[in-house]
């Protein structure tokens, strides 16, 4: 017997809620988290991925493209797409590795360091706001789950 659905949106919501799909659940939450951070970081003209790159480079001082890919768990295309405006706008620079000139190292410029220093408190406020919305225990659980996914799935 075929049942006709009167409210397609409601039917789809029921199907999505009753059908467990890790991919859909994680993508939905990922989009909301990205939007949450990007709303705040837009004050300094950064996307969340760009901030993550600036943060990693700030901590590492100098790093290679391959190391950034590994640390941020990004493919080359996604990393390049996020790096391009940071180089174009003068926030990052390339220099040759002193041991192997074929390897190019990425570091913050003075302007990039200033942008990171301006963006970091905005990011920290977003972190605090998210913790307030979710609660400390829930946030710890989410971070542990995310770490489990990375450990299980990263190549």
Q: Is the residue at 112 inside a domain?
A: yes
In a domain? residue 15: no
**Residue 59: how many other CB atoms lie within 10 Å:** 9
Residues sharing a CB contact under 8 Å with residue 105, sequence separation 6 or more, in sequence order:
62, 63, 64, 94, 95, 96, 97
Segments forming the whole domain that contains residue 33: 23-153
Residue 129 covered by a domain: yes
- Backbone angle region of 37, left / alpha / beta, with phi > 0 → left and psi within -120 to 50 → alpha: alpha
Cα–Cα distance between 12 and 1 in angstroms, integer?
19
Per-residue pLDDT tens digits for 87-126: 999 999 999 878 888 888 999 999 999 999 999 999 999 9
- CATH code (residue 56): 1.10.10.10
The Cα 57–Cα 89 span in angstroms is 16
- How long a stretch of residues is the chain? 155
Residue 1: the pLDDT is: 46
Query: Could you report the per-residue pLDDT of 2-39, keeping only the tens digit for each?
Result: 556 666 677 666 666 656 778 888 888 889 999 999 99
Instruction: Report residue 131 as tokens.
Output: 């913790």
Q: Is residue 34 part of a domain?
A: yes
Q: Are 72 and 33 in contact (CB under 8 A)?
A: no
Look at residue 3 and tell me if it is in a domain.
Answer: no
Say if 9 falls within a structural domain.
no
The verdict on residue 36 lying in a domain is: yes
C-alpha span between 2 and 36 (Å, rounded): 41
Q: Is position 75 within any domain?
A: yes
- The total domain count for the chain is 1
């Amino acid at each position: 017997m075929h049942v006709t659905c009167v409210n397609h949106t409601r039917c789809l919501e029921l199907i999505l809620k009753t059908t467990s799909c890790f991919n859909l659940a994680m993508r939905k939450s990922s989009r909301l988290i990205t939007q949450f951070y990007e709303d705040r970081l837009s004050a300094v003209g950064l996307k969340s991925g760009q901030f993550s790159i600036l943060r990693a480079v700030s901590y590492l001082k100098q790093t290679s493209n391959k190391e950034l890919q590994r640390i941020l768990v990004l493919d080359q295309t996604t990393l390049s797409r996020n790096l391009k405006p940071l180089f174009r706008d003068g926030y990052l620079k390339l220099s040759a590795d002193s041991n192997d000139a074929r390897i190019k190292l990425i570091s913050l410029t003075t302007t990039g360091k200033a942008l990171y220093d301006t963006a970091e408190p905005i990011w920290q406020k977003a972190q605090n706001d998210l913790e307030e919305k979710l609660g400390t225990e829930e946030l710890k659980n989410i971070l542990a789950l995310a770490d489990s996914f990375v450990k299980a799935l990263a190549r």
